[in-house]
Each structure stands twice: as C-alpha cells, then as structure tokens.
Amino acid sequence: MKQNLINPDTKITLVSCQHFNSGIGRYSYQLGEGLRKLSFDTELYKVYKRDHTDRKYHRYSWINKIHYKSFRSLHPYILPYFIHRRIKNTPSTNLIHGHWFISGYACSLLKNPSVVTMHDVSLLHVTEASKWFTGYYKWVIQQLKKKNTPILVVSDTAKLDCMKYADYPEDLIYVSKNFINFNQFFPIENIAQIERKDTFNIIYTGGLGQRKNVGMLLEAMKIIEKKFPYAKLKIAGAFPEYTPYPKMAEELQLRNVEFVGYIPDNKLNEFYNKADLFVFTSLYEGFGYTPLEAMSTKTPVISTKGGALHEIVGEGGDLVEYNVDELVEKISFYLLRPSKLEALGNQGFEWVKRYTEDASIKNTLKAYKKALA
C-alpha cells in the first residue's frame, strides 16, 4: 500500500492533544499502530499526566510525553504552547500530523509538511462551545487554510460540512473514516444470556456533553419502564454528577436507570456484550464510534440521524428522528420481538465489517502524499 502513495522512508510524527480515553486520543493510538504495521517509522507525541488512566501507554518507546498544565478554562488556549515546545525540534523532513485543531495549530508553527485531522467541523454549526472558543476554532482553521494544509475528516458528511461552514477548498479535504479494532470489540458467546436473566438491558455510551442529547433517552425511558418494568438503562460516561442528567432522571422518577461512570477500555467489550440494545441519541456526530463498537459485538443499535450518523450507522442500525414517541415505539418494537432484535444485531455485525484499518490508512496516506508534494 505505502509504496504506491508516499516514500516508504518517510518518517511520520503524530501529535495528539487528547488522552487515549477520548475518541480523538483513541484515533491517534490506532493510527500510530496501523502505520507501524506498514513499517513506517512513526512516533507519537501525546499529552501526559502522571495520574491519568492512559499513562500505561507511555511504556512504548514510540510514544512520547507532552507535559502540560491545564490552567482550567485557559487549557485549550495554552496547550498549543506546551505542544509546540515539545515538538519544535522535530526534523524538518518529518511529515507531521496533528490530531484535532489544537494540535494542528501547534504543528502549523513548524516548517514541516503537515496534515491535520479535524474529524469534523461541528463547532461551526452546533451550539456547544463558548463564543471565545468557537472564535478560536475559526481562527485556527483560517491559519490552516492560508498554509494550504490538507485536512482529514471522518465522513463524507463532515467533508461537505467543511466546504459549507469553513469554506475549506475541496481539493485539500480527504475523507478517512475511522476504523474499529475488531480485536478489542467482538461477540462473547453466552455472556448476554447470563447477564439478562429477567431484565432487558439497554445501554448508552459515547459522552455526556450537551450535544449527546441523553435527555431524549431519559424521557423515552420514563415511558418504557412503565410499559416494561423489566427494562433497565445503563448510562456510561465519566463524571455524570457534573451533568444535568442524574437530576433529570430523579425528576422523571426513573427507577431503572443507572449511571455507571467511566468504563475503562478493557471493560468496554464486556459492557456492550451484556446489553440487549444500544441506543444513541446524539444531535450531531462527525463519525460516531460507539454505535459501531456495539455493532461489532452483535449488540443491536437504534440511533438518531444527526450529522454523519445516517451515513455511518446506515443500514447497520435502526434510525429514528428526534422524537421521543418514535424512539419509544422503536424500543418497544424490539422488546416485543426477540427475533427482530437478533436480526438487527446480525445486520449491524455485517455492516461494521467495512470499517477496516486498511481502508482508513490508505485514505490517510493520500493526504500525506498531498502534503509532501
């Protein structure tokens, strides 16, 4: 693959502004592993905290530490300084690849050929961040555009959004869909039957920010648990106590909802496998890892259509509009029809097989070729 796209002797420096327990961080690690499998000389710089759960990854010689201080709300504005300070001596012949705009800005200060993975440009059209942060985001995109920096996005939908909302040149936008690690996410035979007993387990994971729209799922659950008292909902995600959702669940008098907190990587596969149904209600996703992770375990998926979800989940799940009654109807349908539920799980399992490492990295190398031209 690599010989046809870029010089096999190219040294690649990856730079991540996030820890590996986030989607962006996971992307960084998986891409690094994939490039190394192709025998590219690859190194990865990532943010490091001594007490963070992902510190174990720094035992690998190809992963380098970026020490930083958070400064609370100033963190995203200050972080490029710490990143740049760490990578500024990177040999000018290295291709440097920043992951997300914060890393991308730090990388753009070097003279190296560079590529930036934006993932998507949701901050330009989904109200989630402050005006200051959104303005900062727009400014960085303009700097990348001035330097004719090739950018990578993770879906065809995200590419169209980049052209529409960021006015980014089409010939500088490359689509490289994320891939699923099938060695990490796979069906475990009989585990769900053991866990289920007399309950129907619905799960959610994928972040607890405002855009994730978990409130819609809680509202649906108010009706579901009255109709089906044996239905349970487990919501995964770090620090739920800092979100409005536990209070909302209390106000809705939900009895069968549990906030299970952060689930480490080595427990996620089991979490998916013990579920009867995965429900995802996000308002917008440039890609959407977690529905695909669920599919890879044969867990049936119901998802909303926002952003790229209609494209990424596609025929692998059952798609719904942003309507609580419709969501209740879909969940009820599968609760009452075990054979349809099983068929949906099998459908997703076949669909997710297209999200492979080879396809993703091949498209990434196309962006590298553009940067090196």
pLDDT of residue 195: 58
Q: Which domains are seen in the chain, by residue range?
A: 2-179+356-372 (3.40.50.2000), 191-354 (3.40.50.2000)
* Three-class secondary structure assignment of 314-353: HHHCEEECCCHHHHHHHHHHHHHCHHHHHHHHHHHHHHHH
Higher pLDDT, 27 or 12: 12
Mean pLDDT score across all residues of the chain: 93
% of the chain exceeding 70 in pLDDT = 97
pLDDT of residue 196: 56
pLDDT of residue 54: 87
The model's confidence at residue 3, banded by pLDDT at 50, 70 and 90, is very low
Q: Which helix (H) or strand (E) holds 172?
A: none
pLDDT tens for 123-174 read 888 777 788 999 999 999 999 999 999 999 999 999 999 999 999 999 999 9
* 348 vs 14: CA distance, rounded Å: 32
pLDDT tens for 282-340 read 999 989 999 999 999 999 999 999 999 999 999 999 999 999 999 999 999 999 999 99
DSSP string, 227-254: H-TTEEEEEE-S-GGGSSHHHHHHHTT-
pLDDT of residue 23: 78
